[in-house]
Structure 1
Amino acid sequence: MSDLASRLATGAFRLLSLLPLRTLQAVGAAAGRLMHARSAKFRREFDRNLAGAVPQADAALIRAAAAHSGRTMLELPWLWLRPRAEVLRAVVQVSGWECVERLHASGRGVVLLTPHMGAFEIAARLIGSRIPITVLYRAPRQAWLAPVMERGREGAGVSLAAADGSGVRRLLRTLKDGGLVGILPDQVPANGEGVWADFFGRPAYTMTLAARLTSIAAGTVMVFAERLPAGRGFHLHFIEPEVPVEGDTAQRVDAINRNVEALVRRWPAQYIWGYKRYKRPPGVERPAAVE
Structure 2
Amino acid sequence: MLTLFRLLSRCPLRVLHVFGSILGWLTWWGSPTYRRRFRENVTQAGLPWARVRPAIAAAGQMVMELPWLWMRPADRPFGDRVTWTRSELIHEAYAAGRGVIFLTPHLGSFEVTAQSYAELFGPRHGPLTVLYRPARKAAIRPIVDGGRQRPGLATAPATLAGVRQMIRALRQGQAVGLLPDQVPPEGLGVWAPFFGRPAYTMTLAARLAQQTGARVLLTWGERLPRGRGYLVHVSALDEPLPEAGEDQAQSAAAQINQAMERLILQCPQQYLWGYHRYKEPRQDPQFQAGAR
TM-score by length of 1: 0.89
Q: Distance in 1 between matches of 2:281 and 2:98?
A: 34
User: d(CA) in 1 for partners of 2:81 and 2:94?
Assistant: 22
Q: Note closer, same or farther for the CA distance 1:244–1:33 as it changes in structure 2 (3 Å cut).
A: farther
- For 1:126, give the aligned amino acid: S
Structure 2 matches for 1:1-291, cutoff 5 A? 9-53=1-45, 55-58=46-49, 60-86=50-76, 88-89=78-79, 91-129=81-119, 130-131=121-122, 132-215=127-210, 216-247=212-243, 248-283=248-283
Report how far residue 113 of structure 1 moved.
Answer: 0.7
Decide whether the 8 Å contact of 1:111 with 1:221 is kept in 2: yes
2:288 aligned partner: none
Structure 1 stretch displaced more, 119-128 or 243-252: 243-252
Q: Is the 8 A contact 1:90 1:234 kept in 2?
A: no
AA matched with 2:276:
K
Q: Is the 8 A contact 2:191 2:250 kept in 1?
A: no
* Structure 1 residues 251 and 268: alpha-carbon distance in aligned structure 2, compared to 1, 3 A threshold: same
Rounded Cα–Cα distance in structure 2 between residues aligned with 1:62 and 1:38: 19
Instruction: Give deviations 1:22-61, integer Å, cap 9, x for gaps.
Output: 11111111221232234221110111111211x2412x33
CA distance in 2, matches of 1:263, 1:156: 28
The number of equivalent residue pairs is 274
Relative to the length of structure 2, the TM-score reads 0.88
Once the two structures are superposed, residues 203-247 of structure 1 have per-residue CA deviations (whole angstroms, 9 ceiling, x without a partner) of 111111112112123310001100001111000111112343233
Structure 1: runs of 5 or more not aligned = 1-8, 285-291
Per-residue displacement from partner, 1:232-268 (whole Å, max 9, x unpaired)?
1000111112343233322221111110000001111
2:156 maps to a residue whose letter is A
Kindly provide the amino acid, as one letter, of the partner of residue 91 in structure 2. E
Gap regions ≥5 residues in structure 2: 285-292
Contact 2:5 2:71 in 1 (8 A): no
For the Cα contact (< 8 Å) 1:243–1:258, is it kept in 2? no
Code of the residue aligned with 1:44 in structure 2: it is: R
